[in-house]
Structure 1
Amino acid sequence: MRFFAYPYAGPEEIRRHCIAAPPGALIRALPDLHAWLASHPDALIEGSTYVVDLRACLRLSPRRSEHVACAGGEDVLAAGEMGFFAHARGASVTAVSNLSTGYRPDVSCWDAVAESLARAGLSAPPGFTTSVHFRRCPACGESTLVKEQWFVCTFCDADLPLEWNVSARREVDVVAHVDRVRSLSTP
């Protein structure tokens, strides 16, 4: 599968401050999610910070964590916030956004989120429950959040492009990467 990898586009001082922090918890299966929620019960109320790493695996951190810390300083396939609902069988994912001012991913990163949740055996909403559009202004160079589908720069009132243009994302082949990693670790 091919996805876009998004580089960190936030303030460098935040990256430097977060680089020593451990990355977010790897969620590869439903028991991983249940264990993480048991150790972070506030996440059932306020949600969590998430990233999808370059192997298309979901990583979770407490809600007020920096996305770059959750990602271990690496590029991501997706980043945002995730909400959960507790029920008799454990918990499920009920809300997902792409709200990350550090990575500013395009709404097209949903495919990577859906893939990471499917790989972990987690059900998901049919798409982002809250989608955010980030754009870089061609006139002043500032990154801005598009609100109410009004593609106008909040800094200089210039028109913003309809297509995502925040940073130099790159296309990655996740399956080939995973297969290469598996072949390197196989005796």
Structure 2
Amino acid sequence: MDRRYPYIGPAEIRDRVVPGCLGREIGSAGDLAVWLAEWPADEREEPFTFVVDAGGALRLAPRRSEHVVCAGGGPVLSAGEMGFVRDGDRWAVREVSNQSTGYCPDVTSWAAVAAALDRAGLDHPGGFTHPIVFRRCPRCGQRNIVKDDHFGCAACETPLPSVWNLGTTG
């Protein structure tokens, strides 16, 4: 079963969710081409915000939008940023990360991303090109990004767990 990641970011960001307003669902290469055509060429060069919603659908939104808004406030199977490149007559995924400090998905969430991309018929790199390891400090509760395999809390130096621990699963 895929892990569902609840939103764990600031409430004031969650309050930006508007019922019925979600990121654009991308179910095929054609959907992606139509959506990208709506953006100026220079904006297509930047990565976009993405989520894989609880139903397994890939959803995209502008880069500076919030993941929780893209997901309509619900839990996700993954979240991060995704960039595209033109490959002949179609688009392919150039880069993808799990960079979402509102959901803090584990690197294992790649399986959900790959499944959504495969269903949509989109070529992809086969893994996160910029994986981020998130952990919560068991002492002070601070959310941390683990860098250079240093599993120590940036706020209080407490050792961080080796396994993801930022929310409930379901």
Specify if TM > 0.5: yes
Map of 1:118 onto structure 2: 118
Which is richer in helix? 1
Q: Which amino acid aligns with 2:164?
A: W
- 1:44 positional shift: 2.4
Given the superposition, is the C-alpha separation of residues 150 and 126 from structure 1 closer, same or farther in structure 2, using an over 3 Å criterion?
same
Q: Retained in 1: the 8 A contact 2:91–2:122?
A: no
1:107-153 CA distances to partner (integer Å, 9 max, x unpaired)?
00000000000111111111100100110101111111111111110
Residue by residue over 1:62-114, the C-alpha shift from the partner in whole angstroms, topping out at 9 and shown as x without a partner, is 11110000001110000000010023312111111000000000000000000
Number of residue pairs matched?
169
What RMSD over aligned residues (CA atoms) do the two structures have, in Å?
Answer: 1.2
d(CA) in 1 for partners of 2:73, 2:105? 15
Cα separation, 2, equivalents of 1:91 and 1:43 = 15
Extract unaligned runs of 5+ from structure 2: none
Q: TM-score, normalised by structure 1?
A: 0.87
Gaps of at least 5 residues in structure 1 are 171-187
In the alignment, which residue of structure 2 is the partner of 1:105? 105
- Contact conserved, 1:44 with 1:86, CA < 8 A, in 2? no
- TM-score, normalised to structure 2, is 0.95
After TM superposition, what 4+ stretches of structure 1 lie above 4 angstroms from structure 2?
none
Answer with 1 or 2: which has the greater Rg: 1
1:64 is paired with a residue whose SS is coil
8 Å contact kept, 1:117–1:124: yes
Per the TM alignment, residue 47 of structure 1 is displaced from its structure 2 partner at its CA by 1.1
Counterpart of 1:39 in structure 2 is 38
CA 10–21 in structure 1, closer or farther in 2 if over 3 Å, else same: farther
Distance 2:131 2:111 in 1: 13
Compute the displacement of 1:19 (Å).
3.3
SS in 2 for 1:5: coil
